[in-house]
Structure 1
């Protein structure tokens, strides 16, 4: 892939783009039904499963559609109707893709739930959504069964794989009893398709109701962040072969709307892996499946960089694009991706309610290391102040997206609203601007620079601190695998900058060999403080550093700084009493 810093086509692409949203639109039809109707449906691979130590299994679009039709018939017999919510609690596997297609082509609403959720998290979402049916496999069946006594509205549990023994209905047996024919419901683009709950880092999670049209709204972000996904945007030629993989959970927006659905939309195979992420497994998947396009969290890229610094010498990769989101990538990881993976990483910014709205596309405009990019085509993005006015370049504000594009046409990417929570939906908007709750600075060229969540920013000794820049600096140090920065209450300064640090594998090995682990940690602390002071402003270096085994993370891969911040506040109160 050509890496160009001289040709910037951003303005022409952004200004020349316009939305054409049909009145009737269904995600399952465009992601599966239309491909199953093609002559090559029995040969075109939809899902390829990676199994460690064994040959990969794969399923075609013909198999995907036939299984979806059978499951739609099963759900119809169970009384699921248009608009009803169906919980899908499964990891990356073929049956998960089948479940989404089956639910969506019925006009029902798919409600993805992470297999990492415990009984309390599951029961809240199942009750809040009033889901009547849940589909799960062995990864989540124990938690679902624990939650079920608190979910009186949940009528039927369908078990996939080994979960069939404990469920009301065996998935394989139920599907085998039905025919492979089903007439899809004709849905409007505005109809609800997915009910997906936010991460819930503060308070109870809210259910964001996503319409079918949002699939179209996502596409510009997907193709841009994936360097056009094998297509040439300026030539009428057949696209090159593309294979997609991401460790992102298909129960999360990043895995569902940014990986599974767009891959199927373009009729390309997606690799499914139902296992724990590790840098070594990630490289194995990228190498053995010839993955060309991927979405990797910054935390995953950091781990890969630390574990395999010489990736170029060890693996033959076919990567054409890497998209990353959730946290700032930072220039250390940015350089690693260019030098060792052969790709300029495209940072992206979005959230459950509006998904892809900001990002980079190395193929069409130059990326700036550390920047999360510009508004993607079709989206009007700005940094605004508390009154809803656009901030000048260099002034921090909140990232917001307008309901209308640059031509005044409605942007299809927007969610319908929060489930049964009109007050929260209204609070999300200032006029036509949808607030994201994320702080950024726009530079003179229109690139946005992430500053952190509005509730992650803090003041120390009168200075406004954004944790992202300090964390990025810390990760550049060879002793650090990951880091999170939070305020520690201080009577004199209001707050001190405190860093929670996860040591790298090399540093852990050195600590285990040290005569005194406490002395080793003190030496690392001093080294890290000098490292930050040499690269950032004097007031930004962490006055205190605490080493921990792992950072608290959401199920979507974001660091939960709030957990650490509350911990510091509790410690301060305890010390005061």
Structure 2
């Protein structure tokens, strides 16, 4: 079904937008404290626990945060100290963030999926003085505790209490529910998030309190304005938010949890492993209206439920997606089957929520929105000056591939609040991130005449094969359109004649994988026929040099904790195989 995209108000929105960032600003006060002072704080729901039938109101969130702030203060945590938070989506995770923020300390989110080595590096490098964890992470944390001498206290939540220095629930009864928040500056550090690059150890990006303000224009635009109106936050809205994105990474924290609370709206917490049936059931049960679903999740949902509205009663008003290119197959699925135009967004931990789409999904509102174009990253969100630049830092003309970069100043010459403060204890790395006032992202794109950006891949993912420049995203998107494919990753395979061949790693749809398993004896012929079919599928839709010369079926692609395909892992595997063949 075709949907009207409405007026194109992008230029007017940019021209009329001005940042308003106070000198003193604290995320906890903006996301919880001000709502807790309202008359309806005892009824206004902040967080809904999926499967538990429990809710946490803003009044309760503030009281619990006050108590935890008092606990941390009593443990010697002071302004600027780093506090690790190693928990999934649950009430206490949100409580911990609010407690750390209003204390003036720095929250350091760590994924519960991190193993001992990953935890040790981050705890050591950040010099964290305290950690708050639950049963999902206490075992790994306990393994490295002795190796982190600056980590004075581990607070255990729920089942982690027995192995921690103290249990949160046991301490809670003796703590005061009042706390005087620290008046932090807007440019003071609030969050330390470690990002993994292609080389070297992870780097800690120090995010200031003001960065939340810098996120809001993108959040409002990508969530279609409805329910998140900055002119009337929290009033008369029926918006309910959910995302499977872990609250321990930028997408879950800055794109989901904090913006939802900022606008006084409830967010659903679910710590269960992502599964398409769980996702659709949750959307239906809680009447979720707004969501952030990464492309990998949307692809799985599309394959599992081609016509979801035949089985689920959905109330979706907006879907935002980020992390990888969405692709036109997923774009069409969201439009035709979920009933919304997916708004693709682009950003990174250091400079988040800067580019994207703002389709209104058939509902009109004067002065808002611009059409979404399938496969496009979108345009710069209001308040952000974004360009495609060359190696020298000059803006590329339309159609020329360059690196996406964000300018320190917006179109009016005012400082953009979304910027990170720098890499933790790595001034040289911070300096290398910039070319003049342009902050480089490491992502390649082209810009068309209308200002839309078109993703070409990570700078280190693009490769040459037989002299042709290959961007993996387009080929992967084409493969996923085939009904036999759930997901795909394209990497170069070293080749002595051509330099590299295009190789695809493919995850098969369950019914195809089952048929392949049954055809044990004839697997070679089964695989050969399917590979030829997939190669023809790509040849018919893309340039002849882009089709994968080799296809390898794999049970699952290597993924980051943020849902991004780790092409580098596969690329290194191909390089190792090539060295082995040479010997």
TM-score after normalising by structure 2:
0.97
- Return the alpha-carbon distance in structure 2 between the equivalents of residues 202 and 312 of structure 1: 44
Structure 2 CA distance, aligned partners of 1:492 and 1:24? Answer: 61
Of 468-477 and 141-150, more deviation after overlay is shown by 141-150
Counterpart check, 1:159 vs 2:156:
yes
Query: Conserved in 2, the CA contact under 8 Å of 1:231 and 1:238?
Result: no
More divergent stretch after superposition (510-519 vs 230-239):
230-239
Q: Which moved more, 1:501-510 or 1:266-275?
A: 501-510
Q: Post-superposition shift, 1:149?
A: 2.1
Is 2:577 the counterpart of 1:571? yes
Residues 92-137 of structure 1: CA distance to partner in whole angstroms, max 9, x if unpaired?
0000000000000000000000000000000000000000100000
- Any residues of structure 2 matched to 1:245-264 within 5 Å, and which? 245-264=242-261
The reply on whether 1:506 has 2:503 as its aligned counterpart is: no
- Tell me which of 562, 572, 579 is aligned to 1:556: 562
1:200: Cα distance to partner? 3.8
Matches within 5 A, 1:291-440: 291-363=288-360, 364-440=369-445
Give distance in 2, aligned partners of 1:431 and 1:62.
Answer: 46
Matched, 1:187 2:184: yes
Query: What secondary structure, in the 3-state scheme, does the structure 2 residue paired with 1:523 have?
Result: helix
> In 2, are the aligned partners of 1:4 and 1:362 still within 8 Å (CA)?
no
Distance 2:524 2:370 in 1: 48
- What is the aligned partner in structure 1 of residue 522 from structure 2? 516
Alpha carbons 1:229, 1:293 under 8 Å: kept? no
2:102 to 92, 101, 105: 105
**CA positional deviation for 1:234:** 9.0
| Closer, same or farther: CA 134–236 of 1 in aligned 2, 3 Å | closer
- For 1:413 and 1:108, how far apart are their aligned partners in 2? 19
Matches within 5 A, 1:8-23: 8-23=8-23
Aligned match of 1:542: 548
Of 468, 471, 483, the residue aligned with 1:463 is: 468
Checking the alignment, whether the CA contact within 8 Å between 1:437 and 1:453 is kept in structure 2 is yes
Corresponding residue for residue 7 of structure 2: 7
- Kindly indicate whether the alpha-carbon contact (under 8 Å) linking 1:199 and 1:555 is maintained by their aligned counterparts in 2: no
Q: Distance in 2 between matches of 1:331 and 1:395?
A: 22
Structure 1 CA distance for aligned equivalents of residues 233 and 37 of structure 2? 23
Q: Which runs of 5+ in 1 are unaligned?
A: none
Q: CA deviation at 1:232?
A: 5.7
Residue in 1 that maps onto 2:453: 448
Q: Distance in 2 between matches of 1:200 and 1:384?
A: 21
Helix, strand or coil at the partner of 2:376: coil
SS of equivalent to 2:464: strand
Indicate the RMSD between aligned Cα atoms, in angstroms: 1.5
Work out the CA distance in 1 between the residues paired with 2:233 and 2:430: 42
Following TM superposition, by how much is the alpha carbon of 1:395 offset from its aligned partner in structure 2, in angstroms? Answer: 0.3
How far apart in 1 are the matches of 2:212 and 2:228?
A: 19
1:144 matched to 2:137? The reply is no
The 1-side partners of 2:272 and 2:418 are apart by: 31
TM-score after normalising by structure 1: 0.98
SS in 2 for 1:456: coil
Aligned length: 574
| 2:525 maps to 1:528 | no
Native 8 Å contact 1:82 1:108 kept in 2: yes
Deviation (angstroms), 1:171: 0.5
Structure 2 residue aligned with 1:40: 40
